[in-house]
Amino acid sequence: MSLDWLIIGGGIHGVHIAARLLADAEISPDKLRIVDPGNRLLACWRRCAAATGMTHLRSSSAHHLGIDHTALRKFAGKQKSRKPGHFAVPYTRPSLSLFNDHCDHVEKSFGLSELHIQQRAVQCVAHADKVEVLLDDGRSVDTRHLVLAIGASEQPTWPAWAPRNHAEVHHIFDPDFDDWPSKGETVMVVGGGISAAHMALRLIKEGHQVHLVSRHAMRQHRFDSDPAWLGWKYTATFTQTQVPEERRAIITEARHTGSVPPEVASALRRAIGRKQLVWHEGEISQCVDRTDGLEVHINQDSTVHVNRILLATGFDSQRPGGQMIDELIASASLACACCGYPIIDSHLRWHPRIYVSGPLAELELGPISRNIAGAQRAGERIVEAARSKSVAINCV
Ligand SMILES: Cc1cc2nc3c(=O)[nH]c(=O)nc-3n(C[C@H](O)[C@H](O)[C@H](O)COP(=O)(O)OP(=O)(O)OC[C@H]3O[C@@H](n4cnc5c(N)ncnc54)[C@H](O)[C@@H]3O)c2cc1C
């Protein structure tokens, strides 16, 4: 198979970039494909979002996978049968079901499921005139341009103290996690961010007694970075910073990791007040198997007995992509910063034929890069590059 564009990763980023290339760069659908091992596009997103029990997104209705800025709001307006409550105040945040239905709508409008190759890419080799991508069924695909949209959701963070392959200890973002607590259990949720908070509130609603262990006190922020990062002011200063290590420091400072928005913080405080939730601030040192459950040691001086532990500890911060990306870097001499992340140009190009998005584009797009807004920015930049290429080719 020979393509113009191949996108590795069919998550929020890969799907939006595909839609953009088809809509705005006039790429022909028979010349574009998305490789992703999921049984459908966005399978990872749907699984992770559903696991938390979140009802609404944290971001506003301007952040979606469609093309036009107002597409999600217009789509909601046409859903006459939908019950009220599909936007939460403030910032008209869409319900998860509305957002997912709109994702389906985008997929359908652009015929993206027909462009999905359900495989894992295992090797990428850059040549002067193409990139050759080997799939895990042994097939090989040649493409003129490659987009690496591989995200971080395949690398859930697993704390050192947490036993692996234990029937009562799970990471909520683990693809195999489907073992939901039965009625009336005592459950420990580990993590101090929005996923842990949603998970704890969901468990309380379902009648469980919940302990939440966070390394820090409750941190309250409306968004996971200041919305000013969506405008020119912060991004201009970021782009003027030439040293990648300084950019990494700005990103680390700007991201409100482990934080929850005000209404979630209030719900947690209410649950603590009603004694449905115990908030433990500290570090877990040990987890011991007992006949009647799990004994968890916190801060060396406190012990809690629970039936089950659910890890909501997010994703590892290391560069995603594993061996495939390590080998690509070595074979094509691709530039990386000390943090291991790509050094790319303003079109998110890591190589004349290879583009990146999501975490891999962070050193160019800044703290919003991993989010839906980051997918939108990546789409704009890659389309700009695709258009300038087609103009250049048409002029020859
Ligand atoms: C619970 C939750 C709620 C969130 N809420 C919001 C929100 O409200 N607003 C917001 O802006 N952001 C939110 N985010 C953050 C962000 O938008 C998501 O994490 C987003 O899903 C990232 O998309 P992605 O495409 O970069 O990565 P992923 O979702 O990780 O998708 C990447 C895909 O690439 C595939 N892949 C990886 N390696 C290969 C390979 N070698 N070959 C083929 N395929 C491969 C993976 O299987 C995966 O399907 C949330 C995240 C989570 C987890």
Q: What is the pLDDT of residues 6-28, one digit of tens each?
A: 999 999 999 999 999 999 999 99
Between the CA of 261 and the centroid of ligand 1 the distance, in Å, is 20
Query: Counting atoms of ligand 1 from 1, which one is nearest the CA of 368?
Result: 11
Please report which confidence band the pLDDT of residue 327 belongs to, taking 50, 70 and 90 as the band edges. Answer: very high
Q: What is the pLDDT of residues 256-278, one digit of tens each?
A: 999 999 999 999 999 999 999 99
Main-chain phi, psi angles of 4, to 5 degrees? -85, -45
Please report which confidence band the pLDDT of residue 131 belongs to, taking 50, 70 and 90 as the band edges. Answer: very high
Tell the residue nearest (CA) to atom 51 of ligand 1: 49
Residue in 17, 44, 63 to alter for ligand 1 test, most ligand atoms within 8 A of Cβ: 44
- Following CA atoms 313, 95, 13, 158 in sequence, which dihedral angle do they give, to the nearest 10 degrees? 10
Residues with CB under 6 A from ligand 1: 8-14, 35-38, 44-45, 48-49, 52, 57-59, 63, 120-121, 149-154, 195, 324, 358, 370-373
Q: Is the pTM of this model over 0.75?
A: yes
Q: Does residue 240 carry a pLDDT above 60?
A: yes
The alpha carbon of residue 134 and the mean position of all alpha carbons in its chain are separated, in whole angstroms, by 24
Q: Does residue 393 carry a pLDDT above 60?
A: no
Q: What is the pLDDT of residues 353-374, one digit of tens each?
A: 999 999 999 999 999 999 999 9
Q: Which of 62, 66, 57, 48 is nearest to 86 (CA)?
A: 57
CA angle at 91 for the pair 87 and 95, rounded to the nearest 5° = 25
Q: Does residue 184 carry a pLDDT above 50?
A: yes
The answer to whether the CB of 344 falls within 8 A of the CB of 378 is no
β-pair type (116-117, 87-88): unpaired
Ranges of each domain in the chain:
2-154+316-395, 169-221+256-311
Distances (CA, A) of 275 to 151, 199, 349, 351, 383: 38, 17, 52, 55, 52
How many other β-carbons are positioned within 10 Å of the β-carbon of residue 142?
Answer: 15
Q: According to CATH, what is the number of the domain 169-221+256-311? A: 3.50.50.60
DSSP 278-330: EEEES-EEEEEEETTEEEEEETTTEEEEESEEEE---B--SPTTHHHHHHHHH
Tell the residue nearest (CA) to atom 14 of ligand 1: 371
Tell the residue nearest (CA) to atom 31 of ligand 1: 11
CA angle at 115 for the pair 379 and 121, rounded to the nearest 5° = 80
CA angle at 301 for the pair 295 and 306, rounded to the nearest 5° = 20
2-154+316-395 homologous superfamily: FAD/NAD(P)-binding domain (3.50.50.60)
Percentage of the chain modeled with pLDDT above 90: 91
Between the CA of 172 and the centroid of ligand 1 the distance, in Å, is 14
Q: What is the pLDDT of residues 211-236, one digit of tens each?
A: 999 999 999 999 999 999 999 889 99
Q: How far apart are CA 333 and CA 350, in angstroms?
A: 10
The answer to whether domain 2-154+316-395 and domain 169-221+256-311 are alike in fold is yes
Rounded to a whole number, what is the distance in angstroms from the first to the last CA of the chain? 25
How high is the pLDDT of residue 82?
66
64/90: higher pLDDT: 64
Tell the residue nearest (CA) to atom 15 of ligand 1: 371
DSSP conformation class of 181: P
Q: What is the pLDDT of residues 38-47, one digit of tens each?
A: 999 999 999 9
Percentage of the chain modeled with pLDDT above 70: 97
How high is the pLDDT of residue 81?
67
